[in-house]
Structure 1
Amino acid sequence: MERPAHDGDDPTSAPPAPAVLRVSVVNAMDGMQYDVDLSSRATGNVLRQELLVATGIPTDEQILLYGPPYTRLDPKKTIESYQFHTSQKAVFVYDRRTLSQETLAIAPTVLQPQHYEVPSLSPSSAPAARPLYESSSPLLKALYDYEVQFKAVAMMGQTLDTVAQARLDACDTCLAQQRAQASAIQAAMANLDTFHMSYLHLASSISRIVSTSAMTQHFQPFWKDFRSTSEHHEELLTHLEAYIGRLETIPLHPALQTPPHRTTLYDCIPLERVRDWRTQCEQSHTHLQAKMEALAAAYHALTESIRVGLTSSTQSARPAPDLLRQRDVLYAKVVSSTDHMNVKSIVATLQTNYETVVQRVAETVPQNVLPEATATSSSSMTTSYMFASATVLEAFRGLDEMQRDQAALLPHIHQVVDDELKTFMLAVAESKDSMSAAVHTQLRWVSRVQSEIRDFEQTLSLLKDALAVQKRQFAELNHVAKLPEAYDACLQEIVRRRSYGREFTWKIQSMGEKLAQMREDEVLLRDAFLKEFGQHLPRDFVPGLVEKPSHCDIRMRPFDTALPAIDAPSPAPFEMEQRELDVLRNRCKELEGRVDELQTELDDQKKASCHCSSFSNASSMSCSAEKGPNFPLVLALAATAGHPAGMANSSELLDKTARLEGMLDERNTMVASLEARIASQDEALLRVNDECEGAKNDLAHAQFLLGSQRSALKQIWNLVGMDEATLEMQTVDGLQKGLDAFEDMWLAKQQQLHVSTTAAPSDKAIASDDIVSKIAFRSFSYDDLALFLPTFAPSDAGAAKIYLAFHLGCPNRFLSDESIAMFHQAQNRYPEYILGRIVFIDEREATERDNPYRLILGTTFYVLTVTCLVDY
């Protein structure tokens, strides 16, 4: 297992590792610590081999934990990667072989030293005192005996002090090993995190340890999910028939019905299959419920086992407090600096007494009996001792008292060393044996808990999969319960999508119309420039000055065409406004049509009066007609113009003029009403501009419609031959002035009509009309009159058509979409033919990106833009 990352393990911030690292490893089985010096580049396998030599545990049977937090040591990673030189990390080695043994067969612990020997002194063992021992003087021999006794007591004290210190050290070492074993148990408990337990903090309470376990974190959310899912499934099983019965009461929308097979939601479900699913789901639900109850029982049993095991481990995985207190008492009796009756102070007293005796002997014995005078005769030595007898007797004073005092100290040392320390050694050894057994028991418990947690997790994983399968099974029943709600949402979604499609199309059309109006305005501005200034400029003075602005072709791929015709009962706001504007537009078109009819009647009367004025003039006109092109429309007009009934008297003309003026008044009223309505819409849109982004689109649309109406008014103005400079449509006063000018023009037309009845048209005028009315078919240029016919006749009269120019040797002349849309909007249908005057020719080449008419790639084609006839 990879070691989790910690703040102190960042190799970028840690100091570089030394060449040689010392790793301290504790054997969890006996508590002994081994210091191993390894290269920083050495791997965990090298450490395992060193521990094999030190502990005798085979490398395959070693379990190495390091921490905190305690995890497995990876044998393939280098030692420096664990940052042992930057943080305090403990390493424990466990013997996997002992985990398979029911009982641990280990030899009883025996602490040393158990026995000791006190050195003895013989007369020959003291070379310096040998003359005193061989002396014939009883006083000198007695003085020697005192010295030997004091030395023997001092040596006895030193020996007991050494033994006491050794026994204390042995007990301390054994207690340290027990603490190491306790730490090894704690590390093993903490390593339960590897088997889905959170990091174990022994300072925390047991309840916190259990509640923060990752096993609980896995089980509790799953159990909560299972309980909520189980309640939902039980509800589905209980109320399924009620859900099915409710479907019979919900009729389908007429657009979705297929009588007599499908009229309600009840007819939309496979009833027999649903009931079979219910049977299968009920069996699966019962089986899974039993399995989940067993899993919950296993979880609570395992949790309680972990709680009890952790409680017992925290209580047993440490040396007994009594031993620690007893050790402190014995340590005070041996080396305490405050107690004068400790072993150290007593031994120091004995040594001081011995040194005092040695000093008195040296001061009392004559110089000639000292070792350097041993070569003298015995007679002279005897004579010297006789002279020093008084001094020897003086030296004996106080020795008996000193001997009695230190004789009372030796039993106290023997009691501490032989009785108390030895008994304590036995207790510490028994505690070590108990700790070893506890280590074995706890490690086996940890191993068993790991296996139980592993089995629990496997069962939990299987039941998670089973619950997921059951959810998929019950999903079929859930469809029945959710079908009414889904059906309502489906209807709302269809309505919303269709409304979106209409609004999307409307916005595209609005954008197209706005761009077309923008182009038309630009064309007028360019034409006005060329008319006023361009004719005075040299030819080719500025290249491209006579070019026309490009057209904008906005195309949309059809979508949502398969949706049924389900719409909201009330139209959307933009649709209501569009309908109202369509009504106004149709009304305007009706008025324009009536104006056209009156203008046609006026022209017919003018031609009839001219025909009846003179027979010679009629003959000349007939001859000129024969010489002109055989144009059927012109011939038809000439035939109808000769009827004598076309003449009208002045009263009839006045009546028609009055009707025309009434229509103009009605038109004026309608325009004023439209202006007022648009102004109110503009004000409303300005008020809610900050509140709704959609109001901006409505305002732009209303402005575009106003421009369209003004454009239509301009066309009417052009039809009657008025100058556009006299028409100001930005204000109501301007419109009123324009209508006044229209009335003046009409009065002038009336006066001109009276004058024309007496004058015959000249041949030059007739030839000019023929030239203007001539249809081009051999070549096409600006201001030519062209006839366009549809390329195919689709079954749907409302389907879009493509118009091709009637030609002879001039193929691939197509009518622009803008012109088609203009004629379609004018007649509310696609006409059988279109006759118009060319105002723009766009030469293009068919490519993969630009091939609207599906021509062969590389073919040159022309898109012609035409306008309505003014004088035709």
Structure 2
Amino acid sequence: MIRLRVLTASTGACTHISLHPNEFTYSTIQSRLAAVLPVNDQIILIGPPYKVPKDSLLRNNETISALRLGDEEDELIQNGRHSLEPAERTGSKRIFLFSKRALANNAPEPPDCVLDPAPGPLPMPTQSDIPPPPPSPSDVVETPLRNALELYVRQLMLDVAKGRVYADGADLRLAACRKCLSEMVAIAHALRAAVSNLSDHRAGAVRQRTQFSSDFVDAASFYMGLLQKFELRAGEGYVDETNTFSVENESLGSVPLHPSLVAAARSSGRMMETLLDTVPLDREKAWANKCQTAHERLTASAEDLEAAFGTAVGTSSGWNEEAQEDLAAEEIIKMLISEVEDADNRIRFSQSEKNDILASNQSEATRIMSTAVRNESKEGRAESAFSSLEEMAKSSSSILMTMESDDNILSQLSQRVADAKSAAMKRMKSRLRHISVAQSEIARVTSSVSVLQHALLQLKTDIGHLEHVVELPSSYQSFLTEIQRRRAYCNAYKSIFDATLERLNLMRADEIKLREAFLRGPGKHLMPAFYEIFVPTLATSPAVFSPQLPDMLEFQTLPNVGSQSTQYNSSSTESGSTLISSQVREMESNVDTKDQSVLVSADENSGNYDVMMQTMSQGDVAPRRKDDKAERASLKYENAVLRQKLEQAGVKIPPYIDSHTTTTIHPDENDSMDQRHKEQHRKISSLEAELERVQKELEAARVASAQKEAANLGPNSDLETTQQRSDKISHTSFEVGDIGLFMPTGRGRGGKRIYLAFHSSCPHRYLSPDCIDGSPDFVLGRIVYQEEFVAGALNTTRNPFGLHVGTKFWVLTVEVVKKG
């Protein structure tokens, strides 16, 4: 059985409950405490850290041990020792019971504390309560002397009875004071638990508010910049008074559309001359106004949240004042405990000794009376007896006076203890009400933060539509480049198709001539068996290949934007782009202007065309023209792809040079053209090699620049490199040498915090408890060893993380890189 002590927060009263280990759950504890408070009125906190307990936490062996340790500390008060040190320092835990009704604003005041026995004079026995002394066997006859002496003895017996009342009263008063002080200590601990729980609520609210404030500041800056750019883009025109071109500030009305696009718009019945004409301006402006209004409202709500948060959370000075008041209340308890201990060591022992003296005097008086009665006939015996009894009576009376004085001291002490507990209960009610109101306000503020976070995400989504207008100029330039590339592709595709088909037709014509020459020559002497049995197709014509090119509908719909230069590209380019552009311009100039009739394809298999053409007649000029056109179209397509990639990389693209002059090739120019072909191929190969060399130099320059920047970082560069490597956190797989981020997810067996690896579809990677020092908020470490297990029965060492039976899990041992 598990024996627990549950402390009532409002009164400090202790309730003992006994539970079987299988019944040790939150609902069972609530039902056992129903006699103290109704279940729907209960708030149970266990700690530290003080939270509403979960069944997994209650059934933890370490939690049970900590609860027993807390019970032992509380029992020290009842044994005359006090312990008001924070429970976190000893590792002990306690269970506190709070009442929801006591937190209400109209809750009744707690009753005043009354100790038993009540402060004030104790009820004393009278002479009638004292029985006569028992006669001795020799005192069978009553005499006047015996009657006179018996009066002294009866008085001494009454003094003994009063002394016993004072001695027992001291024990009862001190026991009542100890019990009352133990309840006051429980109230002080319960107040600490409530304050700790409030601190957790405050810390969570502060973290959430800080995250929202950071996100809001970043988003507000982005939104304001985006709205300003939208206003510039939506203008009819822009005049740059600084004579400095800036793509960021140009309006859509200053960017003209390509003439082919203007013509296409006119053919559809619309008038579009600039980019601004393509935008549904009224709708976009209305949407921008809505976004502006929403942003202003969100800003006002964020300001209201800051004010509400300051009111709910309070200031550190207010927290310090409350903490000082709580410490002062605990100091009063400590002072009273010290006084009770002193009274216990001094007065209670004194009262016991004095009572023993009174009892001894009474016994001695009885003996003197008996002796005097037996020796009544002897002279002087009676006078001696009366004298001794008179002295004893005076001594007993003096002792009773001192005992009464000590009892008054204990009465006053018990009255102060009772008054202190009454004040503590009233202060506890006020403080718990204040804490409850603060938690309610924090909950409302936290809820408001959540609402504003959702509103911020929604505003981000809504205002993101305006980026279409802001980014339209750069997207338009990419659109022109894309159209040029697609037209080049269509031209290259059709030209290569025509050239290939022409080559196949020429090869078939040559094949027909060769077959006719064979059949008219050696073939006419062959026997019929060669034509009918051996090779039935020996006298047939070669197969005809006549494919049909699909209709190039896309090419017909693409506007002819020509070779318009990307005049709206950003002026900021990377280092070395001018050198690359000059090489590209030189290659384009050499290819297009020196001899446009002789072009070399970038395709590695382009040489196969020459092999195929070896069978062609050297006097046929049309096929060569087809090949030249196909290769020229292919090069233009490759050039368009290259220009698009350079533009996407941010390199300034030189104007495209396109010559529309054509060269007529005559049959007698074939030899010289072949020579020029070889020479041009050599020059272009040289230019390509030079371009590759320049690219390598540019890359080397970039690497050297990066190395120089790294060297300027100082002696801490190695450490920063290590930290950068450490920032690469694994989350999809975990191998030895990887970096893992482990976050706390609760507590497992033994009450220790469980740290689970941050992962994506890679669950059940737990940090080894040997790598955990204290209770950090996270652990970042390099994996040095991992071991696979299968979860066994619950609440056993084979299932330390409370998983379902049969679940595979891994325990990772790491070299800690950072923790917080």
Q: TM-score, normalised to structure 2's length?
A: 0.51
Tell me the CA shift for residue 91 of structure 1: 1.7
Aligned-partner Cα distance in 2 for 1:563–1:49: 80
Determine the structure 1 residue equivalent to 2:544. none
Residues 499 and 175 of structure 1, relative CA distance in 2, 3 Å threshold: farther
Determine the structure 2 residue equivalent to 1:411. 401
Determine the structure 2 residue equivalent to 1:280. 290
Tell me the CA shift for residue 236 of structure 1: 4.5
SS of residue paired to 2:43: strand
Higher relative CO (Cα under 8 Å, sequence separation at least 6) belongs to 2
Aligned-partner Cα distance in 2 for 1:359–1:503: 138
For residue 449 of structure 1, what is the amino acid of its counterpart?
A: A
Of 172, 185, 204, 1:179 maps to 185
Determine the structure 2 residue equivalent to 1:351. 356
Contact 2:133/2:153 (<8 A) preserved:
no
For residue 461 of structure 1, what is the amino acid of its counterpart?
A: S
Contact 1:21/1:37 (<8 A) preserved:
yes
Determine the structure 2 residue equivalent to 1:48. 30
SS of residue paired to 2:34: helix
Residues 200-226 of structure 1 show CA distances to partners (whole Å, capped at 9, x for unaligned) of 7xxxxxxxxx5xx21122223223333
Aligned-partner Cα distance in 1 for 2:180–2:339: 17
Tell me the CA shift for residue 37 of structure 1: 0.8
| 1:290 maps onto 2:290 in alignment | no
Residues 132-172 of structure 1 show CA distances to partners (whole Å, capped at 9, x for unaligned) of 7967595x888777666655545433432221221122122
Of 106, 111, 131, 2:115 maps to 111
Residues 127 and 465 of structure 1, relative CA distance in 2, 3 Å threshold: same
Residues 168 and 686 of structure 1, relative CA distance in 2, 3 Å threshold: same
Determine the structure 2 residue equivalent to 1:36. 17
| 1:86 maps onto 2:87 in alignment | no
Aligned-partner Cα distance in 2 for 1:91–1:253: 79
For residue 192 of structure 2, what is the amino acid of its counterpart?
A: Q
Contact 1:495/1:568 (<8 A) preserved:
no
Tell me the CA shift for residue 431 of structure 1: 2.4
Residues 479 and 416 of structure 1, relative CA distance in 2, 3 Å threshold: farther
Determine the structure 2 residue equivalent to 1:700. none
SS of residue paired to 1:86: helix
Aligned-partner Cα distance in 2 for 1:360–1:409: 16
Aligned-partner Cα distance in 2 for 1:674–1:288: 66
Aligned-partner Cα distance in 1 for 2:452–2:686: 71
Tell me the CA shift for residue 683 of structure 1: 13
Contact 2:313/2:438 (<8 A) preserved:
no
Contact 1:28/1:93 (<8 A) preserved:
yes
Residue correspondence of structure 1 range 696-715 to structure 2 within 5 A: none
Residues 820-845 of structure 1 show CA distances to partners (whole Å, capped at 9, x for unaligned) of xxxxxxxxxxxxxxxxxxxxxxxxxx
Determine the structure 1 residue equivalent to 2:4. 23
Contact 1:491/1:566 (<8 A) preserved:
no
Aligned-partner Cα distance in 1 for 2:96–2:611: 100
Contact 1:233/1:474 (<8 A) preserved:
yes
Determine the structure 2 residue equivalent to 1:126. 133
Tell me the CA shift for residue 109 of structure 1: 1.9
Residues 784-811 of structure 1 show CA distances to partners (whole Å, capped at 9, x for unaligned) of xxxxxxxxxxxxxxxxxxxxxxxxxxxx
Aligned-partner Cα distance in 1 for 2:687–2:454: 66
SS of residue paired to 2:12: coil
Contact 2:181/2:337 (<8 A) preserved:
no
Residues 689 and 223 of structure 1, relative CA distance in 2, 3 Å threshold: closer
Residues 455-491 of structure 1 show CA distances to partners (whole Å, capped at 9, x for unaligned) of 3233333333333333334333333333334445666
Determine the structure 2 residue equivalent to 1:471. 460
Aligned-partner Cα distance in 2 for 1:335–1:687: 98
Aligned-partner Cα distance in 2 for 1:93–1:676: 93
Residues 501 and 144 of structure 1, relative CA distance in 2, 3 Å threshold: farther
Determine the structure 2 residue equivalent to 1:728. none
Contact 2:587/2:687 (<8 A) preserved:
no
Determine the structure 1 residue equivalent to 2:525. none
Aligned-partner Cα distance in 2 for 1:582–1:322: 95
Residues 691 and 228 of structure 1, relative CA distance in 2, 3 Å threshold: closer
| 1:428 maps onto 2:421 in alignment | no
Residues 256 and 334 of structure 1, relative CA distance in 2, 3 Å threshold: same
Tell me the CA shift for residue 34 of structure 1: 0.6
Residues 150 and 566 of structure 1, relative CA distance in 2, 3 Å threshold: farther
SS of residue paired to 1:117: coil
Residues 390 and 125 of structure 1, relative CA distance in 2, 3 Å threshold: closer
Determine the structure 2 residue equivalent to 1:332. 342
Aligned-partner Cα distance in 1 for 2:611–2:26: 96
Aligned-partner Cα distance in 2 for 1:682–1:239: 44
Q: TM-score, normalised to structure 1's length?
A: 0.48
Aligned-partner Cα distance in 1 for 2:232–2:698: 46
SS of residue paired to 2:457: helix
Aligned-partner Cα distance in 1 for 2:157–2:487: 121
Determine the structure 2 residue equivalent to 1:191. 197
- Percent identical: 22
Aligned-partner Cα distance in 2 for 1:59–1:589: 97
For residue 36 of structure 1, what is the amino acid of its counterpart?
A: I
Contact 1:28/1:92 (<8 A) preserved:
yes
Aligned-partner Cα distance in 1 for 2:98–2:56: 19
Residue correspondence of structure 1 range 397-796 to structure 2 within 5 A: 407-418=397-408, 420-487=409-476, 571=584
Residues 381-413 of structure 1 show CA distances to partners (whole Å, capped at 9, x for unaligned) of 85x55569679959977x877776665444333
Determine the structure 1 residue equivalent to 2:744. none
Q: For structure 1, which runs of at least 5 residues remain unmatched after alignment?
A: 1-19, 193-197, 201-209, 337-341, 370-380, 505-557, 599-662, 694-872
Aligned-partner Cα distance in 2 for 1:687–1:147: 129
Instruction: Tell me which structure has the larger Cα radius of gyration.
Output: 1
Query: RMSD in angstroms over aligned alpha carbons?
Result: 5.7
| 1:302 maps onto 2:312 in alignment | yes
For residue 157 of structure 1, what is the amino acid of its counterpart?
A: G
Determine the structure 2 residue equivalent to 1:70. 50
Aligned-partner Cα distance in 1 for 2:28–2:287: 62
Contact 2:12/2:185 (<8 A) preserved:
yes
Tell me the CA shift for residue 32 of structure 1: 0.5
Aligned-partner Cα distance in 1 for 2:672–2:292: 81
Contact 1:361/1:395 (<8 A) preserved:
no
Contact 2:44/2:52 (<8 A) preserved:
yes
Residues 225 and 46 of structure 1, relative CA distance in 2, 3 Å threshold: closer
Residues 693-725 of structure 1 show CA distances to partners (whole Å, capped at 9, x for unaligned) of 9xxxxxxxxxxxxxxxxxxxxxxxxxxxxxxxx
For residue 266 of structure 1, what is the amino acid of its counterpart?
A: L
For residue 199 of structure 1, what is the amino acid of its counterpart?
A: D
Aligned-partner Cα distance in 2 for 1:387–1:172: 57
Tell me the CA shift for residue 36 of structure 1: 0.6
| 1:227 maps onto 2:233 in alignment | no
Say which is worse superposed, 261-270 or 303-312, in terms of deviation: 303-312
For residue 125 of structure 1, what is the amino acid of its counterpart?
A: P
Aligned-partner Cα distance in 2 for 1:79–1:125: 64
Residues 241 and 132 of structure 1, relative CA distance in 2, 3 Å threshold: same
Say which is worse superposed, 672-681 or 251-260, in terms of deviation: 672-681
Contact 1:498/1:567 (<8 A) preserved:
no
Residue correspondence of structure 1 range 815-834 to structure 2 within 5 A: none
Contact 2:216/2:456 (<8 A) preserved:
yes
SS of residue paired to 2:471: helix
Determine the structure 1 residue equivalent to 2:100. 96
Residues 148 and 490 of structure 1, relative CA distance in 2, 3 Å threshold: farther
Tell me the CA shift for residue 35 of structure 1: 0.6
Determine the structure 1 residue equivalent to 2:725. none
Aligned-partner Cα distance in 2 for 1:391–1:304: 85
Residues 36-89 of structure 1 show CA distances to partners (whole Å, capped at 9, x for unaligned) of 111222243333332223x2x222222222222222246x88963686523223
